[in-house]
C-alpha cells in the first residue's frame, strides 16, 4: 500500500508509561502497534520504565528510563525523568515523529524535546486518568488534571482516541486538538465460542445448567468491583443458578474475595485458558466507568457473550442498548440488577444478544485499525514535505 511504502522511509520514537512491566490493555496495544510498524518497514524506538522481571516480552528496541513505584499501585511505575544517555539515544535515532502515549514526566520531557527540535508530536489517549481520581479520594484535583491535559494535548498535531464517545468527552473539556479515532482490535481466531467445553466448566465447578456471569480485568477498585459484587450477590438471592467467575489478579483480590467468597477465582489467564474462560461464560458483566475503550468487552463480544456494562465512554461505543447487551448507570445499582436478572431468566434473549455481539466484533480487525494509524502519520509527514 502507498501508506506502507511512504512510512517505510521514516522513524517513530514512542514514549510510554507502561510497555512491558504490567500486562494490560495499554501495553498489549502498544506492543502490537510496534510489531505492526516494524513488519511494515517503519523503524521504532521505545522509551519507558522497566522492572527486573517483566511479565511480558516486548516488541522492538526499548530504552529504559528511571521510575518509581506508583503510590497505592506499586505494580505500576511513575517515570521520574529523561536522563542524558536516553536523550542521546533519541538524538542519534533522529525520529521523524514523536508519539507520546502517556502525558507523565517522561511524556512532558519528550514533548519539550520534540518542540525544541521541530519534530512533530502526536499522542494517544489510553488511560482515563482523571476518572481514577475519585477512587483515591482526589476528586478535587480533577479540574487541575484537565487543565494540564488541555495544555499537553494542545501541543500535539494529532491526539488518537479509541472511541468517538471518548473524543466527545475530550471536546467537552475544551480539548480541541485534531482528534482522530484509533480503535482497538480483536483476534477472532483467538476469541470465539468454539472454546466452549462442558469439561472446562465442570473443572471450574459449574454445571451446564448454571448461568455463569464473568468479570475479566485487573482487580483494582477503580474497575467498580464493589458494584459487581453487590449486583451479582443480590440477584443470586432469587436466581440460585447464577454463578460468578472472576478472571484477573491485582491488589483488590483479597478484598473482593472477602466481599464475594462464593465466586470462582481463576487469577490471571492468557492464551487458550483465557479464551476458554470467556467462551464458557454466559454473561459478561463489566461495570467499570474508567475505560477509554474496553478491550475485555470486545474480547467477550468475540466470544459470543451478551454484555452488561457501564453507560460510560468506551463501553457504550461497543455495546448497543437492547442489541448485544445493556448499559447501566453506575450510580443506580438497581438498573444493573434488573438487566442481569433479565439475562438470567431469558435464554432466547441471551442467544440473540450473543449473535449480535459476534457480528459487531467482526468489525474490529487489527490490520485495518493499525493501518489507519499509519495513515495518520502519513498525513503529518506529507504536510511537512509539502509546506
Sequence-separated (6 or more) residues with CB below 8 Å from residue 280: 195, 196, 197, 200, 201, 204, 206, 212
Angle between helices 366-386 and 25-39 (to 10 degrees): 60
The order of strands in the sheet holding 179-181 is 61-64, 43-48, 11-15, 97-100, 121-124, 158-161, 179-181
pLDDT recorded at residue 8: 53
**372: pLDDT strictly greater than 70:** yes
Mean pLDDT of 94-113: 96
**137: pLDDT strictly greater than 60:** no
**4: pLDDT strictly greater than 50:** no
Sequence-separated (6 or more) residues with CB below 8 Å from residue 40: 4, 7, 8, 374
**2: pLDDT strictly greater than 50:** no
**128: pLDDT strictly greater than 80:** no
pLDDT digits (tens, 9 = 90+) for 280-332: 999 999 999 877 678 899 999 999 999 999 998 778 889 999 999 999 999 99
CA-to-CA separations, 92 to 45, 85, 88, 89, in angstroms, rounded: 11, 11, 6, 5
pLDDT digits (tens, 9 = 90+) for 26-37: 899 999 999 999
**132: pLDDT strictly greater than 50:** no
**276: pLDDT strictly greater than 70:** yes
Domains along the sequence of the chain with CATH: 2-185+365-386 (3.40.50.2000), 193-361 (3.40.50.2000)
**95: pLDDT strictly greater than 70:** yes
Beta bridge partners of 48: 64
The torsion angles phi and psi of 352, rounded to 5 degrees, stand at: -65, -45
**52: pLDDT strictly greater than 60:** yes
Give the predicted TM-score (pTM) of the model. 0.70
Residues in the chain: 387
CA distance 179 to 167: 7
**351: pLDDT strictly greater than 50:** yes
Residue 346 vs residue 10, higher pLDDT: 346
pLDDT confidence band for 130 (50 / 70 / 90)? very low
CA distance 350 to 316: 19
Amino acid at each position: 500500500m502507498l501508506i506502507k511504502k511512504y512510512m517505510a522511509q521514516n522513524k517513530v520514537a514512542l514514549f510510554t508509561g507502561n510497555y512491558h512491566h504490567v500486562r494490560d490493555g495499554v501495553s498489549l496495544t502498544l506492543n502490537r502497534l510496534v510489531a505492526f510498524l516494524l513488519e511494515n518497514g517503519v523503524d521504532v524506538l521505545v522509551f519507558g520504565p522497566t522492572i527486573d522481571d517483566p511479565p511480558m516480552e516486548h516488541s522492538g528496541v526499548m530504552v529504559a528510563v528511571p521510575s518509581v513505584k506508583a503510590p497505592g499501585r506499586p505494580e505500576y511505575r511513575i517515570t521520574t525523568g529523561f536522563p542524558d544517555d536516553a536523550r542521546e539515544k533519541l538524538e542519534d535515532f533522529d525520529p521523524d515523529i514523536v508519539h507520546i502515549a502517556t502525558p507523565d514526566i517522561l511524556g512532558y520531557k519528550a514533548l519539550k524535546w520534540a518542540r525544541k527540535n521541530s519534530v512533530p508530536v502526536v499522542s494517544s489517549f489510553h488511560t482515563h486518568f482523571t476518572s481514577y481520581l475519585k477512587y483515591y479520594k482526589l476528586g478535587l484535583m480533577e479540574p487541575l488534571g484537565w487543565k494540564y491535559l488541555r495544555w499537553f494535548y494542545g501541543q500535539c498535531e494529532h491526539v488518537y482516541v479509541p472511541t468517538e464517545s471518548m473524543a466527545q468527552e475530550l471536546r467537552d473539556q475544551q480539548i480541541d486538538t485534531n482528534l482522530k479515532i484509533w480503535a482497538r482490535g480483536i483476534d477472532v481466531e483467538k476469541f470465539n465460542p468454539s472454546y466452549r467445553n462442558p469439561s472446562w466448566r465442570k473443572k471450574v465447578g459449574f454445571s451446564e445448567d448454571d448461568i455463569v456471569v464473568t468479570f475479566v480485568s485487573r482487580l483494582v477498585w477503580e474497575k467498580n468491583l464493589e458494584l459487581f459484587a453487590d449486583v451479582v450477590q443480590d440477584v443470586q438471592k432469587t436466581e440460585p443458578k447464577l454463578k460468578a467467575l472472576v478472571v484477573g489478579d491485582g491488589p483488590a483480590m483479597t478484598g473482593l474475595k472477602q466481599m464475594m467468597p462464593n465466586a470462582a477465582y481463576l487469577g490471571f489467564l492468557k492464551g487458550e485458558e483465557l479464551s476458554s474462560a470467556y467462551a464458557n461464560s454466559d454473561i459478561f458483566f463489566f461495570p467499570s466507568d474508567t475505560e477509554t475503550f474496553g478491550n475485555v468487552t470486545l474480547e467477550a463480544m468475540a466470544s459470543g457473550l451478551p454484555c452488561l456494562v457501564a453507560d460510560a465512554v468506551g463501553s457504550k461505543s461497543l455495546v448497543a442498548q437492547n442489541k448485544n447487551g445493556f448499559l447501566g448507570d453506575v450510580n443506580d445499582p438497581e438498573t444493573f440488577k434488573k438487566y442481569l436478572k433479565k439475562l438470567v431468566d431469558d435464554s432466547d434473549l441471551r442467544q440473540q444478544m450473543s449473535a449480535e455481539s459476534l457480528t459487531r466484533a467482526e468489525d474490529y480487525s487489527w490490520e485495518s485499525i493499525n493501518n489507519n494509524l499509519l495513515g495518520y502519520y502519513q498525513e503529518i509527514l506529507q504536510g511537512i514535505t509539502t509546506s
